[in-house]
């Protein structure tokens, strides 16, 4: 299983939100590049980035910080946050981003999703954020009419290879991941699932690895030192 340590960017700083709430933001570092270098030093090969300002604006507000991370490391960097146009996808891919993550736009604009997958193939991932069994959109403030399983079925048919799946109730809460959800998804679909939300201990990492998931995102647990990144990568034989 691949470990994706995460940086959420706001104003060029590394921050974390509690359950997606901008009013509950903790700033962890003024220097995200330093954090990315620490990821690499710990043995990470992959990294998950969310542009929290882009999530609101639909732009690439933190692109300069992302470019610095790309030029300073050899990490495989995936980026999400408000990506809803082909021009923004192109900006990220041209900058050297390995994979972009579509969120709300993948739910609300099927034509855009299809065009993106046809144009960029495996460089397109989709974030499936789950609230009470349904896919949440617009920064988790609204529930769509799609169940998580219906949406994943649609994504599989379209040829989406990678899905970042977040149980919103667990995100940033340090209460453990929703292992039953990931187990069920993995058994139903031939998709590379990345677990996100609540990955808060080595026990979580080991349980997710035993499910044969493609990857897991380590966010707040890295910053609070609840998970030793080097140890997690070692346990997962991350490659």
- Measured torsion, CA atoms of residues 178, 17, 67, 108, in degrees rounded to the nearest 10: 70
* Both tokens assigned to 1: 């299983």
Between CA 81 and CA 102 the distance in angstroms is: 8
Q: Does 210 participate in catalysis according to the annotation?
A: no
CA distance 235 to 86: 38
Residue 97 backbone dihedrals phi, psi, to 5 degrees: -65, 135
Q: Is 30 assigned a catalytic role?
A: no
Which of the residues 8, 61, 167, 204 is marked catalytic?
8
Which is the catalytic residue, given 51, 129, 167, 171?
129
- Residues 238, 45 contacting (CB under 8 angstroms): yes
Q: Which runs of E-coded beta strand occur in the chain?
A: 2-10, 13-18, 21-29, 46-51, 76-80, 99-102, 124-131, 134-137, 142-147, 162-167, 192-196, 215-218
DSSP string, 90-136: HHHHHHT-SEEEE-HHHHH-HHHHHHHHHHHGGGEEEEEEEETTEEE
Active centre residues (catalytic):
8, 129
């Amino acid at each position: 299983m691949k470990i994706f340590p995460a940086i959420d960017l706001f104003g060029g700083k590394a921050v974390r939100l509690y359950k997606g709430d901008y009013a509950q933001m903790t700033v962890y570092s003024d220097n995200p590049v330093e954090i990315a270098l620490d990821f690499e030093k710990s043995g990470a090969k992959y990294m998950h980035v969310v542009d929290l300002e882009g999530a609101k604006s639909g732009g690439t507000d933190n692109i300069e910080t992302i470019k610095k991370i790309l030029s300073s490391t050899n990490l495989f960097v995936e980026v999400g946050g408000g990506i809803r146009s082909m021009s923004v996808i192109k900006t990220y891919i041209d900058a050297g981003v390995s994979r972009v993550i579509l969120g709300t736009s993948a739910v609300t604009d099927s034509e855009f999703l299809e065009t993106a997958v046809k144009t960029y193939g495996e460089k397109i991932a989709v974030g499936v954020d789950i609230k009470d069994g349904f896919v949440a959109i617009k920064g988790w403030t609204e529930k769509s009419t799609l169940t998580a399983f219906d949406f994943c079925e649609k994504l599989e048919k379209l040829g989406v290879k990678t899905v970042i799946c977040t149980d919103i109730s667990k995100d940033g809460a340090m209460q453990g991941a929703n292992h039953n959800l990931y187990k069920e998804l993995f058994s139903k679909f031939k998709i590379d699932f990345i677990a996100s939300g609540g990955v808060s201990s080595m026990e979580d990492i080991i349980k997710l690895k035993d499910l044969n998931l493609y990857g897991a995102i380590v966010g707040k647990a890295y910053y609070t030192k609840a998970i030793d990144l080097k140890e997690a990568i070692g346990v997962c034989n991350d490659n």
